Amino acid sequence: MRLVFLGPPGAGKGTQAQILQQRFGAKQVSTGDILRENRAQGTELGKLAQSYMSSGALVPDEVIIKMIDAELDKLSGGFVMDGFPRTVAQAEAFDCLLDGKNLQLDAVVLFNADRETLIARLTGRWTNPRTGRTYNAATNPPRVAGIDDDDGGPLVQREDDKLETVGKRLDVYEKQTAPLVEYYRRSGKLVEVDALAPVDAVTKEIVAKIGVPVEQRAAG
């Protein structure tokens, strides 16, 4: 399974990528997570990305493309690209990288949601920085506020989930990433899901629309 998850911040791309990784073994490749890890470790890449990320802007294309090239080399099976590509330049470069490795995308899943819901989801999000598992204060709270259900460690809120930065990220999506909808529609690989539905229902719709064989669905 080789997928791209396309959709605005807060649409649930990371949540669903984690589920597909657990269920089908398709590796979640989150450019946001890789950048945050680099930032936490204080690498050159992390330092460069910091100012873009905290203001809600995109990190420059050439930096991201180099990063994905390195990630593709590490992959041996399927993947879910979560948050990449995000510009037409990134999508074109990705096509070239895939061609060069004789790989083809199975589908691009577009997550549809309205702005009001996205703002509520992002400002209520809590994340386990050790595993990437996300919760939501309103719709999917942990058993104990601020504590992860699985490992009992602290949950954190992302600095770019502040209301003012969330608005900027949504505007950036509309301007720089939304043109990818047409790009992938033309390729015939685009499928759309209702990202406003509950988490389980979104997973079901994705699995049905990307054409996972029935025996693999049952195993998952």
Catalytic residues: 13, 86, 125, 158, 169
Shortest distance in whole angstroms from residue 83 CB to ligand AP5: 3
Beta strand 125-127 pairing with 134-136: antiparallel
Shortest distance in whole angstroms from residue 5 CB to ligand AP5: 8
Closer CB to ligand AP5, residue 179 or residue 219?
Answer: 179
Chain positions contacting ligand AP5, by CB under 6 A: 7, 9-15, 30-32, 35, 52-53, 56-59, 64, 83-84, 86, 90, 121-122, 124-125, 134-136, 139-140, 160, 169, 198-199, 202
Beta strand 107-112 pairing with 190-194: parallel
CA 121 to chain centre: 14
Shortest distance in whole angstroms from residue 66 CB to ligand AP5: 12
User: Which residue number has the CB closest to ligand AP5?
Assistant: 32
Shortest distance in whole angstroms from residue 215 CB to ligand AP5: 26
Closer CB to ligand AP5, residue 52 or residue 219?
Answer: 52
Angle between helices 61-74 and 31-41 (to 10 degrees): 100
Closer CB to ligand AP5, residue 107 or residue 121?
Answer: 121
Pull the structure tokens for residue 98.
């895939």
**CA torsion through residues 151, 156, 160, 164, sign:** positive
Is residue 39 helix, strand or coil? helix
Alpha-carbon gap, residue 89 to 201, rounded angstroms: 33
Alpha-carbon gap, residue 18 to 24, rounded angstroms: 10
Closer CB to ligand AP5, residue 106 or residue 176?
Answer: 176
**CA torsion through residues 199, 200, 205, 207, sign:** positive
